[in-house]
A and B are shown apart, each in its own frame.
Chain A
Amino acid sequence: MKPRAEKGLPLNDDIGEAKRLDLYRSQVRLREAEQRAYDLFLQNLVKGTSHLSLGQEAIAAGFAEAMEKGDLSFCTYRGHAHTLARGVSVEKVLGELMQRDNGLMRGKGGSMHLTSEEHGVMGCYAIIGAHLPIACGAAWRAQYKGDKDVSVAFFGDGTTNIGAFHEALNFAAIWKLPVVFVCENNLYMEYTPIADVTAVPQPAADRASAYGLERILIDGNDADVVYRTAKKAFAKARAGEGPSLIECLTYRHSGHSRADPAKYRPEGELEKWKEHDPVKLYRERLKQFGVTDGAIEKIEAEVRREVDEATEACKAAPLPPAEILTTDVYADGGWAWRN
């Protein structure tokens, strides 16, 4: 337990009040936006599939707040939170989930492929494991050119059992690449408990030694812990000391995807994890550090306003026009495969 700050004095621990408020704002934003995405799905306004990160906000917020501008995020199909956490607007994300013309990719990618290169979001990848080698390649470019950015690959526990995970870990280790692998272990690969299908208790951390890496297992629901761990891994990468593999323990409050009511979970498990809810935990943390209820509620109100305004903008947004159907297949902007 951190000491309560003297009333009226600025907080002065290793994270600091300004960053703490950013971490809280980010987590509330992810929570509210994802909850809204779920509500819009129930109204049949979110099309296709969607994979929510409700309950996992501390990881996306903690890593994004630890990143510098220019650092690169490579995410999975469960990528809404990571995309928002890098600063992409709620409207752009909800618009893409609703497959409207105001969406991040004008409805051409959908919820599983959110990409905003200007924010360092280098794509969300829907084939398990595919983006880990891709993050290695971006890190190789940084190493080759002497750039100081770090590439971060976020993935679930299920990814640790696919070949690309192991190829990427080995590749990053032998080339000492500035890449950070972040496993969000939410206990379920999709519907099956990860423990039922994995040879070791901690699917990522227990594999680290196979690649000469430190075993790192953290509380993924505590944004401070995530933030500090991320900072350390980024500093190591920037110093040319190679990759890190970080396993963050967490829990998703909803099912795997919108089609999954998550009935496979044992009774009481969700409730137990909700007691360790990252947003709730962090709200208490702010109060322990002397942040006033008023300041906290102001952040919450501002976030809700952004989400409400985004929702209305998306509902009013037109569908994408037919003419974008054949654009950007090739670099010339078109789709011509013959003369």
Chain B
Amino acid sequence: MAELTYRDAVARGIAQEMARDPDVVFLGEDVAKAGGVFKATVGLYEQFGPLRVRDTPISEQAILGAAMGAAMTGLKPIAEIMFSDFFAVCFDYIANEFPKSRYMSNGQTKCPLVVRTGNGAGSRFGAQHSQSVENWCMMIPGLKVVAPSSPRDVIGLLAAAVRDPDPVIFFEHKSLYPIKGEVPDGEIVDTLGTAKILRPGKDASILALALMVPRALEAAERLQAEFGIDAEVVDVRSLVPLDTQTILDSVRRTHRLFTVEENPRLCGWGAEIVSIVADEAFYDLDGPPVRITTPHIPLPANDFLEDMVLPTVDRIVETVQRSLRS
């Protein structure tokens, strides 16, 4: 067992898979010699060499297209798109090519690849380098979508993503890169499509993803200490496949549902979960499901303003306790 940062867990996860399988290759902008702009891929170039860890030009379409062509013909590429906001310049591959080729070809075409990307706010980068765009990907049939919140999950879910035969979009949260966590020694392989109950509770289910997970956990402790509310915190981890059984079971026990989402409100991932719960566990609910989200605005750069729009521990505590008391 060692303490590792989320940032170092990325490099360890990639290294674990590259050491295991020579068909795993890695490409992206500044990922090789420079070790990544977030320093999340330091050491891979030195360990695996220039044929397997490759710097690319600033050509997001070429990066994702090349990853797809390599995946179709036998490699297992990991591609990095530096900021998830840049998905917008290569969205053809994410929306039209990766997820539809198997279906359109009646099962002939395979696409086993992983796109890693830096997602989310907190770095004061403004509206085009801070977005949470996991919901852009969740809505596309054929993709799998993962967003880990801890160093251990980074390694385990990355390994699961690399070994998965489908295209997986892997959202790393930029503000989580410096956080530390306990990570077991040896190989770690997790399972896609599994949510994790991080804090059991009986009064409310709080569902969170990525950076919102530590905030939900802190809020749960305060709810207990200040209001005597025993909240359950579920790390959703995987938006597609979605572990609805864990979510529905939790709601059936606590009878209340809260989602904490960094994505802007409209069509955020929590909306789908609320819809599923309304369909399948309506009579288990003791009150309306509540979504705690970023408002439907572009993200501001200023730190004071940015802090106002993201769900905070205070906002989670306030929303949950007010809702449970009303």
Give residues in A with beta carbon < 8 Å to B: 72, 74, 104-106, 108-110, 113, 115-117, 122-123, 125, 127, 129-142, 144-145, 151, 163-164, 167-168, 170-171, 174-175, 324, 327-333, 335-339
Enumerate chain A residues within 8 angstroms of B51, measured Cβ to Cβ. 144
Contacts of A109 in B (CB 8 A): 104-106
Residues of A within 8 A of B144 (CB): 330
Question: Do A171 and B57 form a contact, CB below 8 Å, given A105-B105, A123-B105?
Answer: yes
With both beta carbons as reference points, the residue of chain B lying nearest to A332 in the complex is identified as B165
Cβ-defined contact, A339 with B104, below 8 A: no
Contact assessment for B70 and A138 in the assembled complex, using a CB-CB cutoff below 8 Å: yes
Q: CA of A125 to CA of B241 in the docked complex: distance in angstroms? A: 27
Q: Which of B10-18, B72-80, B202-210, B257-265 is near enough to bind chain A?
A: B72-80
Main secondary structure of the interface of A (DSSP, over half): mixed
In the assembled complex, 22 residue pairs joining A and B whose CB atoms fall closer than 8 Å, in A order, are A108-B103, A109-B105, A115-B109, A127-B92, A130-B61, A132-B65, A133-B62, A135-B69, A136-B66, A140-B69, A151-B69, A167-B62, A328-B105, A328-B106, A329-B102, A330-B102, A331-B165, A331-B166, A335-B141, A338-B276, A339-B241, A339-B244
A115: nearest chain-B partner, CB-CB: B105
Across the interface, do B104 and A329 meet the contact criterion of CB distance under 8 Å?
no
**Residues in B33-78 with C-beta less than 8 Å from chain A:** 51-52, 54, 56-57, 59, 61-75, 77
Q: Is the CB of A137 within 8 A of B68?
A: yes
When C-beta atoms are compared, the residue in chain A nearest to B77 turns out to be A137
0/1 per residue, B74-106, Cβ < 8 Å to A?
A: 110100000000000000110011000111111
Q: Which residues of A contact B103 (CB under 8 A)?
A: 108, 328-329
The reply to whether A137 and B70 contact each other, CB–CB distance below 8 Å, is yes
Instruction: State how many angstroms separate the Cβ of A116 from the closest Cβ of chain B.
Output: 7
Query: CB distance A123 to B101 under 8 Å?
Result: yes
In the assembled complex, the Cα of A174 lies from the Cα of B74 at a distance in Å of: 22
Is the CB–CB distance between A145 and B74 below 8 Å? yes
A331-B99 Cα distance, complex, nearest whole Å: 11
Known: A139-B69, A141-B69. 6 other contacts (CB 8 A): A108-B104, A110-B104, A116-B108, A151-B69, A167-B57, A170-B57
A125 and B97 within 8 A (CB): yes
Query: Do A329 and B142 touch across chains, with their CB atoms under 8 A apart?
Result: yes
- Asked whether A137 lies within 8 Å of B165 as measured between CB atoms, the reply is no
- The listed residue (B52, B69, B92, B164) touching A137 by CB distance below 8 A is B69
Determine whether B243 belongs to the interface, using a CB cutoff of 8 Å to chain A. Answer: yes
Chain B nearest CB from A179 CB (Å) reads 9
- In the complex, residue of chain B having the shortest beta-carbon distance to the beta carbon of A139: B69
User: For the complex, what is the distance from the CA of A140 to the CA of B164, rounded to whole Å?
Assistant: 21
Q: A95 to B237, alpha carbons, bound, how many Å?
A: 43
Q: With contacts A168-B65, A337-B242 known, is A137 near B71, CB below 8 A?
A: yes
Chain B residues near A171: list those with CB within 8 A.
56-57, 59, 62, 66
Q: Tell me how far the C-beta of B295 lies from the nearest C-beta in chain A, rounded to whole angstroms.
A: 28
CA of A324 to CA of B104 in the docked complex: distance in angstroms?
11
A87 vs chain B, min Cβ distance (A): 15
Min C-beta distance of A312 to chain B, whole Å = 23
Smallest CB separation, A130 vs chain B (Å): 6
Partner of A133, one of B25, B66, B108, B112: B66
Beta-carbon contact of A134 and B66 below 8 Å: yes
Residue of A nearest to B59 (CB): A167
CB contacts (< 8 Å) of A129 on chain B: these are: 61
- In the bound complex, do residue B106 and residue A138 qualify as a contact, i.e. CB atoms below 8 Å apart? no
Q: In the complex, which residues of chain A have a beta carbon less than 8 angstroms from the beta carbon of B62?
A: 133, 136, 164, 167-168, 170-171
A151 CA / B68 CA spacing, docked (Å) = 14
| Minimum C-beta distance from A191 to chain B (A) | 23
Expressed in whole angstroms, the Cα–Cα distance for A174 and B73 within the complex equals 21
Q: Say how far B9's CB is from chain A's closest CB, in angstroms.
A: 26
Residues of A close to B64: CB separation below 8 A: 133
Indicate if the CB atoms of A338 and B69 lie closer than 8 Å.
no
B244–chain A nearest beta-carbon distance, Å: 5
B251 touches A (CB below 8 Å): no
Q: How far is it, in angstroms, between the C-alpha of A167 and the C-alpha of B102 when the chains are bound?
A: 25
Contacts of A132 in B (CB 8 A): 65
A residues in contact with B68, CB < 8 Å: 133-134, 137
Contacts of A130 in B (CB 8 A): 61, 65, 92-93, 96-97
Given the interface pairs A125-B97, A141-B75, the reply to whether A170 lies near B59 with Cβ below 8 Å is yes
Known: A108-B104, A133-B65, A339-B193. A141 touches B245 (CB 8 A): no
Given contacts A328-B102, A338-B241, A338-B242, whether A123 and B165 have CB atoms under 8 Å apart is: no
**B147 → A minimal CB distance (Å):** 16
In the complex, whether B233 has a CB less than 8 A from a CB of chain A is: no
CB B180 to nearest CB in A, in angstroms, measures: 32
Find the residue from A117, A167, A335 having the highest chain B CB count within 10 A: A167
Indicate if the CB atoms of A164 and B240 lie closer than 8 Å. no
